[in-house]
Amino acid sequence: MTQVVHVPLGDRAYDIHIGRDLMGQAGALIEPVLCRAKVAIVTDSNVAPLHLHRLKEALQSAGIAHAALILPAGEATKSWAHLSQTIDFFLNEKIERRDVVIALGGGVIGDLVGFAAAILRRGVRFVQIPTSLLAQVDSSVGGKTGINAVQGKNLIGAFHQPSLVLADIDVLDTLTPRDFLAGYGEVVKYGLLGNAPFFEWLEKNGPALIAGDPAARSEAVRVSCQMKADIVVRDETEQGDRALLNLGHTFCHALEAATGYSDRLLHGEGVAIGCALAFETSARLGLCSQEVPSRVRAHFQAMGMKTDISDIDAAMPEPEDLFALMGQDKKVVAGQLNFIMARDIGQAFVTADVSEAVILSVLEASMDPRSA
C-alpha cells in the first residue's frame, strides 16, 4: 500500500509517495507534473547499474523522453565542478524553465541536482527519487539543496522545493548494511528531537526494520517524512523550528570535514555520533539526567552503530581543532555558535548557552571513552 505525505506550501505544495514498486510506476506518477513529455535524469555510478534501467522503462512506457547523466558516487561529487557538469548537461538537453529534471540517488545527488535546478534559468522544477534511507527520510524532503565548500559542508546552496518525491521502499533492499544503518541514524534523530513515542517504537521495531520488514520500513519513512514536513511548513527557511532538524549535525559536520568528506565517515554515521554527543553535552549542562544519553547510546549500539569519535577509523584532529571546524556551521548567528540540546528524549531546543569548555570535554571523552 502506498502512503502519501502532503507538504502544504501553497503554490509550491507537493506530495511524498511512500511504498513498494514506485520505481515501476514512476512514469505514471511523474507525468501529471510535466508540461511536456521530456525529462533529464541525474544519477551516480553506484545507483545507475541498480535502478536507472527500471526508471527508464517506466518513463518509456509513459511516453516520456529522457536522457541521463551518471556522476561519480560519493560526497566529493557535491562540488563546483560537478555542479557545472550538471548544468551543462541540462543546457545541452535544452531543458526549459517549465521542464522537470529528476534526481535519482541518495542525498548527494538530491542536493546537487536540486541546487542545479534552483539556479538553472533562475529555477526549474525537479523530482526526487531517493534511493537511500537517509535521502528518503531527510534530504529529499524540505527543499534544502547545495554543495560543499573547502571551508565546510553545505555552505553553498538554495532553498528549492521538489515538485514530487517518490520513496520506493523496495530500493532499500539494494543498500549495504552500512549504508542502511547510516540512514537509520537520521530516522532515530526524529524521535530524539520531538517524538518520544516514535523513539520507543524504534527501540522495539528497529531490529525488524534493519532485517528488511517492509511494513516497518514504510512506517519509519512515513513518520520521519511527516515530522519533517510539519517542521518545514512552520519554518521553511530555517529561521526558527527547522534548526531542530540539525540535532547532532553541528558535531557531525565537523567530523565529516575532519575526515575529508570521505567514506571513512558516512553522513548518517556522523549524525548518530553527533546525537550521542549532543545528549551527552545536555547531561553535562544539567539539562537532562545521565540516564537519557545512556539510553540514546544504548539504542545506537544495539543496532550496531557508531556512537563515539573513537569509533571512526581515521586519525582525528585535537578537540580544539574540531571545535574550530564547528565555527563554520550554518547555525552561527552574529559569530555565536548555536547548538541543539535536549531536556529529554523528544524535547530538543536551540541554544547558544553552551560553553566551549563543556564541548571540549565531551569531544575529549568521546575520543577516549575509557577516560570518561
Residues 6+ away with beta carbon under 8 Å from 77? 44, 71, 108, 109, 112
Collapse the DSSP code of 149 into the 3-class scheme (helix H, G, I; strand E, B; otherwise coil) and give the result.
Answer: strand
**Both 133 and 30 in a single domain?**
yes
**Both 136 and 242 in a single domain?**
no
What pLDDT sits at residue 21?
A: 95
- pTM, rounded to two decimals: 0.93
Q: Of 120, 148, 174, which marks where a domain is finished?
A: 174
Instruction: Report the CATH number that the domain containing residue 244 is assigned in CATH.
Output: 1.20.1090.10
Q: Of 174, 200, 231, which marks where a domain is finished?
A: 174
**Both 157 and 48 in a single domain?**
yes
Residues 6+ away with beta carbon under 8 Å from 327? 337
8: enclosing H helix or E strand: none
Catalytic residues: 122, 144, 186, 228, 238, 242, 246, 249, 253, 267
**Both 329 and 216 in a single domain?**
yes
What pLDDT sits at residue 237?
A: 84
Count CB atoms within 10 A of the CB of residue 320: 11
77: enclosing H helix or E strand: none
**Which domain, by its residues, includes 297?**
178-371
**Both 272 and 363 in a single domain?**
yes
Instruction: Report the CATH number that the domain containing residue 20 is assigned in CATH.
Output: 3.40.50.1970
What pLDDT sits at residue 371?
A: 56
What pLDDT sits at residue 107?
A: 94
Q: Collect the ranges in the chain with pLDDT lower than 50.
A: none
Q: Of 174, 204, 239, which marks where a domain is finished?
A: 174
**Both 166 and 190 in a single domain?**
no
Dist. CA 62–CA 10, nearest whole Å: 28
With CA atoms as reference, report the closest residue to 291 among 361, 367, 364, 345: 345
With CA atoms as reference, report the closest residue to 186 among 260, 109, 111, 248: 248
Scan for cell 511548513, then name that residue: 233
Domain total in the chain: 2
With CA atoms as reference, report the closest residue to 246 among 317, 152, 338, 129: 338
